[in-house]
Structure 1
Amino acid sequence: MKKTLVSALTTALVVGAASTTFAAANPFSDVPADHWAYDAVSQLAADGVIEGYGDTTFRGNQNITRYEMAQMIAKAMAKSDVSAADKALIDKLAAEFSDELNNLGVRVSNLERNADMVKWNGKVEYTYKSNRNTDESLKNNSDHLLFRLEPTAEVNQNWHVHARLDASTEMDSDSPAKDTDEDKVDLKRVWAQGNYNNFQVKLGKFAQIDDDSIFDTTFSGAEVSFGNKVTFTAGAGRLNFSDYYGSGEDKYAPHKIVDDNAANYQYAGLGYADGKFVGGVDYHHLNADNFYYLKDGLKKTSDKDLKTNRTNNEDTANIWLVKAAYQFDKTNGLNGFYANNTSADDLDKAWSAQYTYKGAQAENKGTWGAWAAYRYLGDNTALFSTFDALLQGQKGWEIGANYTPFKNVVGTLRYGNGKDISTDTKVENLFGRIEVFF
């Protein structure tokens, strides 16, 4: 192999990732300033990738050994500030010269290289909930323990495979979920994701664009997204209602009466992000057989009441949502949304406004945050609400705080006080959670 070829390869590996311009002095007497490779050779020498020979010569036209090439690859592998494309090229060269690199003490066995392509993150989470209807002296407490793994595997420089695996159990004896098969392990999400310049595609089972408001949903299908500062996102697939209204939830939740648990689902959204401001407009369409809506004034006390207090002239949901957030400085921010289900006659609106001060950061011990919000979550619009202190079908105030007592350990406390939208009875909810990240 010629040194001139090595210069070209190593330039692509190292010079392409260098953060400085070519300004290093040339240490080699046989590479004049007008040589085509002068800048590259000078910078590579300054970066320590090439050393030349002891007599201050580079000898660019001389054949080199595989061992000398392996030395250059090893030095390129030691650099951390390389692009994905450069890393892919380094990996290919490392595989070709693996024997020589092993002799140099640089271990690049296939097993180790493949292991580096899979990353594991996760958490252990304990959650306590106490939901109370103070007018009717009803109370429901629950203690939930979750173990979550989220692996990511690299396919190539553009494609990765993601997954979410949850093992959960109910720890209390008075939870409705205790009488069901709640101690289980579920593959909650698995999808392939391709990232390109200003373009992204997802295929599989994943969360969609509004997982920060009333659509905390996982569905099976496909999604494409275009843009950078201004983005357009669209997706389509199938959504399973039983994933969200299964055992352990309110037995009189409105979607218990959906005869077809699977719904066809399509959505599209236009987003904008510029510094302190983030906003967007989204549309969601669901279609399922016998997709009933609740009537305003429903007293949720029995299955019979549910069946007699519903409308059945629609099999679809058409929900429009506008959302925005503004971060005034490092400590103060506002966010909110407004949504309307145009297919529902009653309980067809949902909205929220929240002020946030600071915020706990899992990686920084001692950080904390607090917030106050008012939320109105109509039953027929907040179908898959993300909120914990005020629930679907409720309105009122929420206050909360989070704190990081140790690195990667975050505690959260939320308190909600308001009313049931349909019955106007008073509700009071307490939510506490400890998360340990790894």
Structure 2
Amino acid sequence: MKKTLVSALTTALVVGAASTTFAAANPFSDVPADHWAYDAVSQLAADGVIEGYGDTTFQGDKNITRYEMAQMVAKAMAKTDVSAADKAMIDKLAAEFADELNNLGVRVSNLEKHADMVKWTGKVEYTYKSTRFDDSGYNNGKKRYNEDGYVFRLEPTAEVNEHWDVHARLDSNGDMSNDSTKETKLKRAWAQGNYKNFTAKLGKQALYTNEHGLVFDTTFSGADLTFGKDLKATLMAGRLSEEEDSEWKEDTANFQGIDLQYAGASKFYGGLGYYHLNSDYVFSDKSSAFDIYSEGNTYSKDKNEDTANIWTANLGYRFDGKNALWGSYANNTTADYGDTAWQVEYDYGNYQPVNKGSWGAYAAYRAMPAQTSLMGTYDGVQRGTKGWEIGAQYAVFKNVGLLVKYADGNTIGDQHNDFSRLFGRVELFF
């Protein structure tokens, strides 16, 4: 039976779930960086499994036989200087093509029993932040404050069966300014089932919503079900709290959400979302949880609202493998003020930590009122503020990245206060 090389790579992605986390450099001119199979093509090419056609092309639509694919796997099995993660991927591929490999004289009996069932990835990151205000009435009378910390992260993945695996994330956070370790905690733990055009996640997991983190870039405990291929629908339900080191962490909100997102072969992508939260503590006048450079210390003018109903939309366009422009919008129909958040960003480059010398840069404008950008991304422009943000990323060495961001703007609301923020990070992946 014939199968296309692209579908063979799909097999590599599915049965090779233990492959390395980061893609290698891609030598093929006709596989753009935004192609869905880019990572698999790059990794297999870097390992000498795929050699192309001598003219820097990959010809991904060419039909190949399982026998030809088995030859590629046999070549990979002959390599002795591969990492543990690559070895796990090769073993699983060998199990998939066992009959063909046996015909080639490559014995793989019971190989799947010896495949690594657990893989470990992680990172170490050092982060520096410096924020300045023009009014010392904020931040306990200080016009400037700095943060200087590190994170050591481990992310194990264990295979349960051909469809299900379990994931976790363990973080150890420290403060460099006083040479202390603040905490070591299990941040995430979830089970994931992968089926054709369907994925299920159950447990404490990441929540990064489709509007590029304008509303949520955090974690929640519950279920996440995704259906579809090019057009995907995601249903979410569970419990959601403020950041774990927040003074409001004792309260949690009931959370439900739905996302519709298109990301097919077109250069355009986009989608819609809706999120509902209910919490008597966080969303009422009992808490100042939203008084972060914002309009006041109550959620709504009548001081009785305990829900949030947020509608979102996002739209992007990929000009080529390096240039992209996108924007996103969110509206909280429940909030009496600060009910609209939005951002627009232009991206250039192709930063990949595994590729030494790769880089990227961006310029953006963001408006993030605290009543709508509830738990969004705020490395540059912060929650409760609006302004310009620029940034760049550079892979100094393989798996070593440098990130720099700068934001300049002002707080949202009656108490106007200009601010600027410098963000720098060094990250090392393994």
Task: Tell me the TM-score normalized by structure 2.
Answer: 0.71
Match of 2:371 among 366, 380, 386: 380
2:267 aligned partner, one-letter code: K
Partner of 2:201: 202
The 3 A distance-change label for structure 1 pair 402 and 86 is closer
Quote how far apart the aligned CAs of 1:76 are.
Answer: 12
Partner of 2:95: 87
Q: Does the residue aligned with 1:389 lie in a helix, a strand or coil?
A: coil
Match of 1:284 among 266, 269, 275: 275
1:98-120 CA distance string (max 9 Å, x none) = xxx9xx8999596x43xx12111
Number of residue pairs matched by the alignment: 347
Match of 2:256 among 261, 266, 273: 266
1:142 aligns with 2:147: yes
Quote how far apart the aligned CAs of 1:363 are.
Answer: 1.2
* Residues 166 and 185 in structure 1, CA contact (< 8 A), matched pair in contact too: yes
Backbone CA RMSD of aligned residues: 3.9
1:169 aligns with 2:174: yes
Give the 5 Å matches for 1:141-160: 141-160=146-165
Q: Which has more helix, going by share of residues?
A: 1
Quote how far apart the aligned CAs of 1:203 are.
Answer: 0.8
The 3 A distance-change label for structure 1 pair 78 and 380 is same
Matched residues in 2 for 1:328 and 1:421: separation? 33
* Residues 274 and 311 in structure 2, CA contact (< 8 A), matched pair in contact too: yes
Partner of 1:124: 124
The 3 A distance-change label for structure 1 pair 433 and 76 is closer
Task: Tell me the TM-score normalized by structure 1.
Answer: 0.69
Matched residues in 2 for 1:138 and 1:46: separation? 66
Quote how far apart the aligned CAs of 1:157 are.
Answer: 1.4
Partner of 1:236: 237
Q: Does the residue aligned with 2:281 lie in a helix, a strand or coil?
A: coil
Partner of 1:226: 227
| More moved, 353-362 vs 339-348 | 353-362
* Residues 333 and 355 in structure 1, CA contact (< 8 A), matched pair in contact too: yes
Q: Does the residue aligned with 2:132 lie in a helix, a strand or coil?
A: strand
* Residues 206 and 218 in structure 2, CA contact (< 8 A), matched pair in contact too: yes
Partner of 1:71: none
Q: Does the residue aligned with 1:220 lie in a helix, a strand or coil?
A: strand
Matched residues in 2 for 1:168 and 1:418: separation? 29
Bigger Cα Rg: 1
The 3 A distance-change label for structure 1 pair 299 and 75 is closer
1:417 aligned partner, one-letter code: D
Give the 5 Å matches for 1:182-201: 183-201=182-200
Match of 2:350 among 345, 359, 373: 359
Partner of 2:23: none
Quote how far apart the aligned CAs of 1:277 are.
Answer: 2.0
Match of 2:324 among 317, 324, 333: 333
**Percentage identity across paired residues of the two chains:** 45
The 3 A distance-change label for structure 1 pair 45 and 168 is closer
1:350 aligns with 2:350: no
Matched residues in 2 for 1:226 and 1:109: separation? 30
2:422 aligned partner, one-letter code: L
The 3 A distance-change label for structure 1 pair 355 and 82 is same
Matched residues in 1 for 2:76 and 2:129: separation? 53
